[in-house]
Structure 1
Amino acid sequence: MTIIQEHRTEVRSGDVQYQVAVVTRSEDGEPERVTVTVGGERPDGEPVVEGRLELDVTSVATVAELLDTSLRTFAGGGARRRSRGRPAQQGRPWTDEMDADLEARWLAGDSVAELARHFARTPGGIRARLPRVGCDPEHPGNHLPTPPSLREAEEGVD
């Protein structure tokens, strides 16, 4: 089954209407490719911006940062700098392997601070991710009542 997720944004600046559409298509629930389409036109229909990018899903964060830095520099606004102390992986997607490692480390007794250092994330990011892998962020070393890793086994038992 093909799953399509789409996000569209439109904004008017002066007399120009800009649009950005981000579309992911996936087989088996995991996005593989991301298409970014950018457009903008004046009231008379004259285009001022148009383009399309095809990206592998793993490159989206890097390409977004690259475009942000490059366009700001070109426009004379200067590049935005990473905040001091901001973890390297903050805001980046989690992989299935990282989720499994997070769950295993939590159940083994690693603290939120240790996990944040290991995954180069913020403590708040770790606490937010724990329930998504079935771990109870309020009780170190414990699962939530039915963690995702055990749901399939329970569903198969009647």
Structure 2
Amino acid sequence: MSIIEERRTEVRAQEITYQIAVATRTDDDRAEPTPRVMITLEAGGPGGEPVAEGSLDLDVAVAATVADLVADGLLSATGAGRGPRRRSAGRPAQQGRPWNEELDAELENRWIAGESVAEIASYFERTPGGIRARLPRVGCDPENPGCYLPVPPSRRTDLDGAEPS
């Protein structure tokens, strides 16, 4: 066995001190060495008494999946997990996702065509607040449906097309 990388950390949560070690290694005794991850946990109470100990030996390919299962499934099943998820079931599917030029153009077209914030939010699967926040970025006035934002005085040109001096 050859250790490729090892990380150790100590975390204190409430009255418990957790010592976690994560080591990436290969099994040199195999014909083809495969990368593995060894996770070791020890936890002690306020008086130093052990409250948890154990280790996992995982193939690198499944380490992320196992971490998600532990964080989401096992800990929440005991009631001692991370608590309720912040993402609610009623949250729009695209909320928080990045916008692109195509979506921005569609947003602008729908706003100028006179659609309401609620209609646009439903179409894009985003919140009304997210739509109102995005409108100025595409040049639309969120306070005046169907309108563009006015050109600021510093960017206006006179009738001849020359910029102000």
TM-score (norm 2): 0.46
Q: Which has the larger radius of gyration?
A: 2
TM-score (norm 1): 0.48
